[in-house]
Amino acid sequence: MPGKVNPVMCESMMQVTARVMGNDQAIAISGATGGQFQLNIMMPMMGQTTLESIVLLAKATDAFVDFCMDGLEANEEACNSAVEKSLSMVTSLNPYIGYEKASKLAKEAFKTNKTIRELCTEQNILPADQLNEALDPFSMTEPHA
Amino acid sequence: MAEFRTERDSMGDVQVPAQAYYGAQTQRAVENFPISGWNLPPELIQAMGLVKYACGVANRDLGKLTGTGKNPLNDKQVEAMLASAKEVAAGKYNDQFPIDVFQTGSGTSSNMNCNEVVANRAIEMMQGDRFAAEKPIHPNDHVNMGQSTNDTFPTSIHVAVGTTIHNKLIPALKRFAESLAAKAAEWDKIIKIGRTHLADATPLRLGQEFGGFARQLELSIDRADRAIEAVLELPVGGTAVGSGINTHPEFGGRVAAVLADETGVPFVEAANHFEARMLNEMAWWNVMDSSGQSPRHCSTSPTTSAGLAPGHAAVTTKLKFQTVNQVVLLCLVR
C-alpha cells in the first residue's frame, strides 16, 4: 500500500525479546545440566548466548530510541476523543446523581451511541458549569483529599 | 605461496591455512566441529585477549616468565607477548578465531586458539618466524602460564559479560529511560482513557503512563547492575579443579586487579575457587535471574500489553508501542 508506514521498530524489538527469552532458556538448561563436578561443560555456548542477548538488547534499544522513541508524538485529538466517548465518564457523576441514575445514563449512552456529556445536556441532569466540573477528566487522574 | 602450511602436533600432521596466526590445535578443532558456522562473539575473543594480557602482567610481576622455569623469556619477549595480547584485546585478530561455538564444553579449543595467536604474533613482533615449529614464546608454557582452560575461559566469559553490560547495555537503557522520562514530562497535560480487562476504564494522563514506563527502565538498569555483580568474582587462580595447582598463590588476585584496572569493572578473585567452577552454573543462573524476573512475568506481560494496546490511539503510528514496551521492560536482562 503506497504511503503505508508500519511499526517496524517495534516488530524488530519484539523479535529480539523473543530471541532473548529463548536464549535464557538455553542458559537455564546449561546451568541445570552442564555443571559436572569441577567443570561446566556448556561454557562456550553459554558465553555466546549470554553475549548475544546482551548485545541484541543493547543494539535494539539504541535503534528503538533513535528511530521510534525519540520521534514519538502524542495524538492528542484521538486521546481526547476516546475519553469523551467513553462510558467511564459517567463514574464521576456518581456523587451528583447517585449510582442507579448513573447506570441508566451509561446504558442509554451505549444504546444511542451518544456521549455522557450529550445526554446530560439534553436531559438537563446538571447545570452546565457543574457538569463541566464533574466531567473534567483531569480531576480524575489524581487522588483528592 | 602455498594455500596451506603443514604443522605437526602430538597427533600428527595438520594442514593449516598458510597465513593463519593460529596453529595445529585450532585447526583440529575447526575440523572436529563443523556444527553451526557461528564463531565466538567478538566480545568474548577480545576478553580472552585481555585476560591473557592480565595473566602475562601477573606472571611478569611475580617473576615467573623470566625466572627459573624450563623455558624463561627475556624482558623484550615478555613485552612482545603483552603487546600481542593487547592487540587481540583490541579486536585486531578477531578473524583468527575460526572455531565453532559448539565445541568442547570447557572452551579448551578456543583457549588454545588464543594461546596460539598471542604466541605467534609475539614471535612475529620479535622478528622471529611465526611459522617455525620452535616456539620461543610458547602458547602453553608462556601465554597459558598459571592457567587452565577451566579458569581462564570462564574468567574471559565473566569479563566479556560484565564489560558488555557495563559499556553497551546500561548506556542504551539509560538513553531509553531518559527518552521516556522526557515524553512523560512533555505529555503531562494530555488525557487518555485507561484500559483494564481490555475495556475502557477511568482516564489517566499520557505523561503518567510514560512516567511508569520510565520507571520500569530505571528498574531494568538496576537489574543490569546486579547482573554485573554476579560475574565480578573470577575463577582465575584456581586452575583446573579449583586447587590452584601450578600457579602462584597471588596469581588470581593480581590478574583480577589488572582486569579491574583495564575495564573499570571491579572484578575480584573468587572467594572460593571450588565454588567458582563446581557451581559455575549457579553463577550463570544468577546472571540471568538477577533481574528478579522469573518466567511467570512473561505470561503477565501479554495480558498487560493487550490491556494497553487498544489504547493505541494515544500514540500516533505506534500501535504496538505499549505491547513492545511491556515485553521489553519485563524481559530485559533476563
Asked if B323 and A80 come within 8 Å (Cβ–Cβ), the reply is no
Residue numbers in B near A20 (CB within 8 A): 331, 334
Q: Which amino acid is at B152?
A: T
Q: Please state the rounded mean pLDDT for residues B144-159.
A: 95
Residue numbers in B near A69 (CB within 8 A): 176, 179-180, 183
The string of DSSP codes covering B116-146 is HHHHHHHHHHTT--TTSS--SS-IIIIITTT
Calculate what percentage of chain B has a pLDDT beyond 90.
73
Residue, of A89 and B2, whose pLDDT is higher: A89
pLDDT value of residue B166: 97
Asked if A50 and B153 come within 8 Å (Cβ–Cβ), the reply is no
Q: How many CB atoms lie within 10 A of CB A10?
A: 22
CB B73 within 8 Å of CB B66: yes
Calculate what percentage of chain B has a pLDDT beyond 70.
82
Residue numbers in B near A62 (CB within 8 A): 172, 175
Q: Where residue B71 falls among pLDDT bands split at 50, 70, 90?
A: confident
Candidate from A20, A41, A141 with C-beta closest to B106: A41
Candidate from A20, A74, A91 with C-beta closest to B315: A74
Q: Where residue B317 falls among pLDDT bands split at 50, 70, 90?
A: very low
Q: How far is A53 from chain B (nearest CA, A)?
A: 8
The answer on pLDDT for B315 being more than 60 is no
pLDDT value of residue B322: 39
Judged on CB neighbours under 10 Å (0-12, 13-18, 19+), B129 is exposed
Residue, of B275 and A141, whose pLDDT is higher: A141
Instruction: Kindly report which listed range (B92-106, B154-168, B216-230, B316-330) carries the lowest average pLDDT score.
Output: B316-330
Residue numbers in A near B160 (CB within 8 A): 47, 51
ipTM higher than threshold 0.90: no
Residue numbers in B near A76 (CB within 8 A): 190
Instruction: Kindly report which listed range (A97-101, A105-109, B140-144, B304-308) carries the lowest average pLDDT score.
Output: B304-308
> A39-93 pLDDT, tens per residue?
889 999 999 999 999 999 999 999 999 999 999 999 999 999 999 999 888 888 9
> B75-103 pLDDT, tens per residue?
999 999 999 999 999 999 999 999 999 99
pLDDT value of residue B289: 40
Scanning A94-133 for CB atoms below 8 A from B yields none
The pLDDT mean for chain B works out to 84
Q: Please state the rounded mean pLDDT for residues B292-315.
A: 31
Asked if A35 and B279 come within 8 Å (Cβ–Cβ), the reply is yes
Residue numbers in A near B186 (CB within 8 A): 74
Name the packing angle between helices B170-186 and B206-229 (round to 10°): 160
Q: Where residue A13 falls among pLDDT bands split at 50, 70, 90?
A: very high
CB B128 within 8 Å of CB B58: no
CB B283 within 8 Å of CB B230: yes
**Which grid coordinates belong to A106?**
451509561
The pLDDT mean for chain A works out to 92
Candidate from B103, B187, B202 with C-beta closest to A44: B103
Residue numbers in A near B187 (CB within 8 A): 74
Q: Please state the rounded mean pLDDT for residues B270-294.
A: 56
Residue numbers in B near A79 (CB within 8 A): 190-193, 206, 313-314
Bridge partner residues of B12 (DSSP):
B9
Q: Where residue B299 falls among pLDDT bands split at 50, 70, 90?
A: very low
Q: Which residues contact B125 (CB under 8 A, 6 or more apart)?
A: B80, B83, B84
Q: Where residue B2 falls among pLDDT bands split at 50, 70, 90?
A: low
CB B263 within 8 Å of CB B162: yes
Candidate from B110, B194, B313 with C-beta closest to A44: B110
pTM above 0.90, yes or no: no
Distance CA B331, CA B324 (A): 10
Judged on CB neighbours under 10 Å (0-12, 13-18, 19+), B102 is middle
pLDDT value of residue B1: 55
CB pairs under 8 A between A and B: 228
The answer on pLDDT for A22 being more than 70 is yes
Cβ of residue A65 closer than 8 Å to a chain B Cβ: yes
pLDDT value of residue B292: 36
CB A63 within 8 Å of CB A89: no
Q: Where residue B254 falls among pLDDT bands split at 50, 70, 90?
A: very high
| Dihedral pair phi/psi, residue B213, rounded to 5° | -65, -40
Asked if A55 and B164 come within 8 Å (Cβ–Cβ), the reply is yes
Distance CA B209, CA A43 (A): 41
Q: Where residue B314 falls among pLDDT bands split at 50, 70, 90?
A: very low
Asked if B164 and A14 come within 8 Å (Cβ–Cβ), the reply is no
Q: Which chain A residue is nearest to residue B274, measuring alpha carbons?
A: A38
Residue numbers in B near A59 (CB within 8 A): 168, 172
For testing contact with chain B, the best of A46, A55, A117, A135 (most B CBs within 10 A): A46
Q: Where residue B278 falls among pLDDT bands split at 50, 70, 90?
A: low
Asked if B107 and A7 come within 8 Å (Cβ–Cβ), the reply is no
Q: Please state the rounded mean pLDDT for residues B162-171.
A: 97
| A98 CA to centre of own chain | 31
Asked if A59 and B274 come within 8 Å (Cβ–Cβ), the reply is no
Candidate from A11, A20, A69 with C-beta closest to B179: A69
Residue, of B248 and B305, whose pLDDT is higher: B248
pLDDT value of residue A32: 81
Residue numbers in A near B298 (CB within 8 A): 21
Q: Please state the rounded mean pLDDT for residues B219-234.
A: 94
pLDDT value of residue B47: 98
CB B252 within 8 Å of CB B234: yes
